[in-house]
Amino acid sequence: MYQGGYTGKILRINLGSQTAKVEETPEPMANDFIGGAGFGIKLLFDEVKANTDPLGPDNKLIFASGPLSGTNVPCTSRMSVTSRSPLTGAVGMALSGGYFPVELKWAGYDAMIIEGKSEEPVYVSIKDGDVKFRSAKKLWGMKTTDTQQIIKNDLHDQNVRVACIGPAGENKIKIASIINEWRAVGRKGLGAVMGSKNLKAIAIRGTGKVAVADKEKLKAARKVFTEAMKESEVLYPVFANTGTPMVVDATSAIGIFPTRNYMTTGEYNAAETLGVEVQMTRNVGSEPCYGCPVGCSQLKLAKTGAYEGILTEGPEFETMYSYGGVTGVDNIDAVIAADRLADELGLDTISSGVSIAFAMELYEKGILTKEDTGGIELNFGNDQAMITILKQMAYRQGIGGLLADGTKAAAEKIGKGSEKYAMHVKGLELPAYDVRGAKAHGLNYATSYTGADHCRGYAFQEIFGIPVPYEVDRFSAEGKGKLTKWNQDIRTATTDAPGMCAFLFDMAVVGIAAQNTASLLEAVTGLTFTPDDILVAGERINNLARAFNVREGFTRADDTLPERILTEPLKGGASKGNYISRDELDLMLDEYYTARGWDVATGAPSREKLAELGIEYVADQLN
C-alpha cells in the first residue's frame, strides 16, 4: 500500500447535479499508471464511452497531478488535464505548471473528475474538503486575468489558485485553452470542453501536506537529482536566464525552425530577429512555478510602437514560432502582444498561429481573397492582421471564425486544394520543428496519441545531438521506429505521469532518468519501482492511449504527416534537400509498430501486448 505521495482521494464533481463526492485512489492504478497523465488516460478510457461527443455532457475533464507534486522535490508542480479532444477526436491530454497542481494535492486530491453540464455558468471553489458551486454569470465574457482576480476577491483570498477559460472557451472554439495564472493547458481544445460544461473556472486552496514514506531515502534521491541539475552545462548557466526561446537559435542553426507555413524553412535565420540576443532586450524578470529553482519562465515587456508597455509571461519557444516564424512576423514586440492576447482570450498559441499562417499562404496563393478576409491584407509578416484575427477567433467572427477550429476544419470548408497546405496531424497543428530535418521527431508527430505533439516523444537526440540511449543521424529513417517508442515511453513515465518538468529531463537527468524517477517514487510513495518498472509504466500508458484512439476509429492511415513534409525537400539551411518520403514514413511505421508489438497493418495494440502489460480487458473493446 502506498504510504506517501498520494492523498488517496479522487474528487468527482458533477456539474449537472451540482454534487461532489470523494472516491479512493486505487492502489493498482498508482502502481501501474503512477499519476498525472497516467491517471488521466486510465480514467478517460474506463469512463468515457466510444463516440462520446467531446462537447457533450458525457465527456469528462480529468485534472491529475503526480505523486511527486506537493513534496520538496524540485520542479514537480505539474498536472495533466485529459479529455476527449474536440479538435482531434482522439485523446486530449495537456500539461501545465504553476501553483494549481500543488494546491490540488494540498487540498487532498490526487485527481479531480469533472462531469456533466451546468444549466447556468458556474465556477467551483474548493477549500480542502469544502466544495461549493457558485454562479459565474457575472464572469461570463471576461478575459482570464480579470476572471482570476474577481474570483480571488469574491473568495477573500489572494492566494487561491484559479484555472479558468476566456471567451474562446465560452464560445467552444476548438483550439481554446485553460489558463491558470501565467500558465496554459494549451493544446487539444480542452478549454472548449470546459466551456461546453458552462464551467468558467475552478478555484482551489489547500492547507494540507503530502506525506513522504521515507524522508531519509528521499533526501538521498533528491541529492542525486539536484546534483545532476547543478552539473548540467545548460540548465543554470543558460536556460535559467533565457528560458525555452533559446531553442529558436538552436533550431535555426540546424535548419529546422519553420518559417512562412513551412515554405521557407532554413532560407533565412530567424534567430536574428527572434533569437536570444533580441529576446534579452525585452526580459524584465521571471515567474517560476512552485518549488522551481530554475525559473525558466521569463517575463517580457514590449517596447516599441503600438505594442509598447504590453507585458507577458513568455513568449515560449513555441509561441516565438507560431506568432513569429511560421507567420513570417519578425517584430518581437508583436509576438509579445499576441502571446498576451491569446492568454487573455484563452487561445492555444500554437494552433492559432499555425492556422493564421495557413490562411496567409492561401491568401498569397489567391485561394483566399480580400472578400474572404473582410478586407484584411493577410500577407506573411503582417502583425496587425495577426492580432486582428486572434481577436476574431475567440468570438467566431470574420475570417477568424473560419480558422477558429483549426486548419483541418478550415481546409475542409475552404476546399480548392487547400488541405495540402494545412500543417496538422490528426487535426492538431504542428509544433515548432520542421521534421524534414529530424525524422524521429517526425515519426513522433505521426504516432503521438494526441496528434502532432512534440512533448510526447521529443527526439532530443536529433534536436540537441544528445547521444542517449545512442547517437543518431537525424536525416536517416533507419532505426527511428525503435527510438521513437523509447522516447515516448520514457518521457511519459518520467515526466508526464509523476509530475516532473520535462525540461529537467533533457537538460539534467536524461542519462539517469528512469533510475532517478524510480528512486524518487520509491522514497515518496513507499511502493517499489525499478528503472524497468518505470519504462513499462510508460509503455502501458501509451498502449492504453492508443487503444482509446483505436476505439474511436483511428488507424494506421491517420499516422501520417502533412503533404508538404512528405513531398517538398527543404530549400535552404543546414537541412537543405531533406524531407520524409512516404516510403520512409512507411518504413518507420513498420519498425515502430513492430517494436510496440502492434498489428503492422492497422496500428492497433495486440491482445498479447495488452495482456503482457496487465490491461488485457482493453482488447475486448477493440474488436
Q: Give the DSSP per-residue string, 110-153.
A: SEEEEES--SS-EEEEEETTEEEEEE-TTTTT--HHHHHHHHHH
How distant, in Å, are the alpha carbons of 86, 90, 517, 527 from that of 29?
Answer: 26, 22, 17, 12
User: 440 and 342 in one domain?
Assistant: no
CB of 61 within 8 A of CB of 197? Answer: yes
Mean per-residue pLDDT, 589-605: 98
User: 617 and 470 in one domain?
Assistant: yes
Q: Enter the DSSP assignment of 448.
A: -
Of the residues 392, 423, 454, the one at which a domain ends: 423
Distance, CA of 454 to CA of 431 (rounded, Å) = 6
User: 308 and 166 in one domain?
Assistant: no
Q: Does residue 429 form part of some domain?
A: no
Secondary structure class of 185 (helix, strand, coil) = strand
CB of 314 within 8 A of CB of 321? Answer: no
- Determine what percent of the chain is predicted with pLDDT higher than 90: 98
User: 442 and 395 in one domain?
Assistant: no
Q: Does residue 533 form part of some domain?
A: yes
User: 530 and 386 in one domain?
Assistant: no
Question: For 396-459, where are the alpha helices, taking DSSP H only?
Answer: 398-403, 407-414, 439-447
Distance, CA of 340 to CA of 296 (rounded, Å) = 18
Q: Does residue 232 form part of some domain?
A: no
Radius of gyration of the chain measured on its C-alpha atoms: 22
> Is the pLDDT assigned to residue 136 strictly greater than 90?
yes
- Which domain CATH number covers 530? 1.10.599.10
User: What's the pLDDT score for residue 504?
Assistant: 87
> Is the pLDDT assigned to residue 623 strictly greater than 80?
no
User: 387 and 452 in one domain?
Assistant: no
Distance, CA of 335 to CA of 323 (rounded, Å) = 5
Q: Does residue 413 form part of some domain?
A: yes
Q: Give the domain extent around 419.
A: 243-423
**Other CB atoms within 10 Å distance of the CB of residue 515:** 17
> Is the pLDDT assigned to residue 198 strictly greater than 90?
yes
User: 13 and 122 in one domain?
Assistant: yes
Q: What are 497-520's pLDDT values in tens digits?
A: 999 999 989 889 999 999 999 999
In sequence order, what are the beta bridge partners of 130?
127
Residues contacting 375, CB < 8 A, separation 6+: none
User: 156 and 39 in one domain?
Assistant: yes
Strands of 157-216, DSSP E: 161-164, 178-180, 183-185, 199-205
Q: Does residue 3 form part of some domain?
A: no
Least Cα distance to 15 among 232, 257, 200 occurs for 200
Residues contacting 310, CB < 8 A, separation 6+: 301, 302, 333, 336, 337, 340
User: 247 and 128 in one domain?
Assistant: no
* Band of residue 245 on the pLDDT scale cut at 50, 70, 90: confident
The single residue listed with the C-alpha cell 491568401 is: 363
φ, ψ at 79 (rounded to 5°): -145, 155
Q: What is the pTM of this model?
A: 0.97
Mean per-residue pLDDT, 237-244: 91
Handedness of CA 245, 248, 249, 250 (dihedral sign): positive
Secondary structure class of 20 (helix, strand, coil) = strand
User: What's the pLDDT score for residue 183?
Assistant: 92
Q: How many domains does the chain have?
A: 3
Distance, CA of 363 to CA of 421 (rounded, Å) = 12
Of the residues 396, 423, 450, the one at which a domain ends: 423
Distance, CA of 107 to CA of 616 (rounded, Å) = 34
Q: What are 41-74's pLDDT values in tens digits?
A: 999 999 999 999 999 999 999 999 999 999 999 9
Q: Does residue 616 form part of some domain?
A: yes
Cell numbers given for 69: 507534486
Cell numbers given for 605: 495494440
User: 339 and 199 in one domain?
Assistant: no
Q: Does residue 571 form part of some domain?
A: no
| DSSP output for 588-612 | HHHHHHHHHTB-TTT-PBPHHHHHH
Q: What are 70-105's pLDDT values in tens digits?
A: 999 999 999 999 999 999 999 999 999 999 999 999
Distance, CA of 70 to CA of 498 (rounded, Å) = 11
The HSE-up count of residue 530 (CA atoms within 13 Å, CB side) is 3
> Is the pLDDT assigned to residue 190 strictly greater than 80?
yes
- Determine what percent of the chain is predicted with pLDDT higher than 70: 100
User: What's the pLDDT score for residue 44?
Assistant: 98
User: 391 and 441 in one domain?
Assistant: no
Q: Does residue 363 form part of some domain?
A: yes
- Which domain CATH number covers 168? 3.60.9.10
> Is the pLDDT assigned to residue 419 strictly greater than 80?
yes
Secondary structure class of 563 (helix, strand, coil) = helix
Of the residues 176, 205, 234, the one at which a domain ends: 205
- Which domain CATH number covers 358? 1.10.569.10
The HSE-up count of residue 572 (CA atoms within 13 Å, CB side) is 13
User: 191 and 144 in one domain?
Assistant: yes
* Band of residue 391 on the pLDDT scale cut at 50, 70, 90: very high
| DSSP output for 328-390 | T---HHHHHHHHHHHHHHTB-HHHHHHHHHHHHHHHHHTSS-HHHHTT----TT-HHHHHHHH
**Other CB atoms within 10 Å distance of the CB of residue 481:** 22
How distant, in Å, are the alpha carbons of 293, 519, 590 from that of 311?
Answer: 23, 40, 47
Mean per-residue pLDDT, 8-26: 98
> Is the pLDDT assigned to residue 108 strictly greater than 90?
yes
User: What's the pLDDT score for residue 57?
Assistant: 98
φ, ψ at 439 (rounded to 5°): -75, -30
